[in-house]
Amino acid sequence: MKKALIVLFAMAFVAVFTLPAMAADKAEWSFYGMSRFETRSSDVETSDWTGTNDPLRDDRDTTWDLTDGSRIGARGDWGHIMGRFEWGYNDGDLAQRHLYGIWRWHENGFLLIGQSYTPTAVLISNAHLFDGLGMIDMGAFYAGRVPQIKIEHNWGAFHAEIAFLRPASGTNSANDFQSYFTTINAGGEDNAHLAHWNSLNAAEQAAVPGLIATTRFAGEDDDNAAEADTTLPKIEAMIRYNFGPLTARLFGGWNEYEMTINIADGDNNGQEVEVDVDSWVVGTVLEFAMGPFYAKGTVYTGENLNDYGCAQNDALSVWWDPGVNAADGVGTLYDVDDWGWLILAGFKVNDMLSFEAGYGEVESDLDATYTDAAGDGNPFSLQTGADRWYVNATITLAQGVSIIPEVGHTDNQEYDFRAADYGYAVDDGDETFYGITWKVNF
């Protein structure tokens, strides 16, 4: 039923643009598609969150499948009106990627209404394995294709965009390491981390903030469920200037939602606390090209980017400490500091062969306090990080047909927890991958 509705919607979209244009004999439509297949082998050293004595285990995975980058779509042009729709393969289903119309309100001015890339999207890498992510989880900022109203304008070499987007309301989940400290709760039957918990002495157990049942992360699904409400749109902007062989770009974004937390523990049973969660990002992109050689780099920093909706690898979520009188509005929200960067270089030998190599890194840091039953504040810190490198070649076999052999390595580094009297680090494993992406454009 869902697929049928999507097909009908696509037909209606085509009709809206085509019928008036056919009457004026001005419609120009071009359909396109891409079939992308991934053959990849990965040697994985994975983290074991069950707390056994052998925390890392080796595994080998093979991927032989159509990837999520496969797509089909069309672009339409009718004078001052343009449009596009695109659907893509998504784990065996059909998912909307682009659906928008553009009004050319000025020779160099455009108004986009619909779903597409946002002004903060950094799509500069040609990395293809893992569904063609292009390092968007590892140093290249990306927050998805989002419904929006966007205004663009060109002034020669200068380009500017501002967009008002559907707001993000948190990821509705804490990452694995944060869940570890909030699900211990002194030996619950469903505790996946009980083995490690039992290995701690009394002083170490007392230092773990997960024992405080009223401490919750944004949107965690439990008896203290947090409801997210939004009022304002997410706002993003970007400016770009072309200096000839060098192009520079600056971007930024801001988002806010309100988290309503039901305090279902102790004397505050049934009370609600409202907390504002703000998130923002700023970053820059530099791209240089001279002859067959090119180099690109980007860096960004921000706050609460997990709740912003970005694709950063294993970013932490906000921490809220209710204190001892949470129902009276007393409590503290602790923000997460995030950053990432990516650098890459490539060389085009000819129209049939090119090479690219890149390295990216991300990190997420939280410095916070939890209040114990005695009302004492206990400072602690959490940190996660990861990095990846890759090398690939793009080999064109014929017009529209190419293969991209690639090799790389991902190091998920450590989840690191530090408190006054206790420290704990988990090696989250690493992965060496190699394979080929097969592409046919039609």
Asked if the model's pLDDT at residue 224 lies above 80, the reply is no
- pLDDT at residue 223, rounded to an integer: 44
Q: pLDDT higher for 232 or 175? A: 232
Q: How many domains does the chain have?
A: 1
Average pLDDT (191-207) is 53
Asked if the model's pLDDT at residue 218 lies above 60, the reply is no
Give the rounded percent of residues in the chain with a pLDDT score beyond 90.
52
Q: Check which CATH number belongs to the domain holding 114 and give it.
A: 2.40.160.10
In angstroms, the CA 281 to CA 419 distance is: 28
- pLDDT at residue 47, rounded to an integer: 59
Give the rounded percent of residues in the chain with a pLDDT score beyond 70.
69
- pLDDT at residue 334, rounded to an integer: 87
Kindly provide the b/e burial profile for residues 135-171, where b requires at least 16 CB atoms within 10 angstroms of the residue's own CB: bbbbbbbbbebbebebebeeeeeebebebebebbbbb
Average pLDDT (144-158) is 97
Asked if the model's pLDDT at residue 182 lies above 80, the reply is no
Average pLDDT (209-237) is 59
- pLDDT at residue 301, rounded to an integer: 98
Under a CB-based contact definition with an 8 Å cutoff, are residues 138 and 360 in contact? yes
Q: What angle do CA 18, 21, 25 make, to 5 degrees?
A: 120
Asked if the model's pLDDT at residue 294 lies above 60, the reply is yes
Q: What are the helix (H) ranges across 136-281?
A: 176-183, 194-198, 202-207
- pLDDT at residue 192, rounded to an integer: 40
Under a CB-based contact definition with an 8 Å cutoff, are residues 141 and 298 in contact? yes
94-119 per-position pLDDT tens digit = 999 999 999 999 999 999 999 999 99
For the ranges 61-65, 220-224, 374-378, which has the lowest average pLDDT? 220-224
- pLDDT at residue 186, rounded to an integer: 37
Contacts of 410 (CB under 8 A, 6+ apart): 138, 386, 387, 388, 430, 431, 433
- pLDDT at residue 135, rounded to an integer: 96
Average pLDDT (258-273) is 61
Average pLDDT (240-258) is 96
SS3 68: coil
**Residue range of the domain that includes 62:** 2-441
SS3 422: coil
- pLDDT at residue 222, rounded to an integer: 44
Contacts of 413 (CB under 8 A, 6+ apart): 384, 385, 386, 387, 427, 428
pTM for this prediction: 0.83
Q: List beta partners, residue 285.
A: 249, 298
Q: pLDDT higher for 182 or 360? A: 360
85-100 per-position pLDDT tens digit = 999 998 888 999 999 9
Average pLDDT (11-29) is 54
Q: What angle do CA 300, 303, 308 make, to 5 degrees?
A: 90
In angstroms, the CA 134 to CA 351 distance is: 21
- pLDDT at residue 56, rounded to an integer: 54
Under a CB-based contact definition with an 8 Å cutoff, are residues 122 and 135 in contact? no
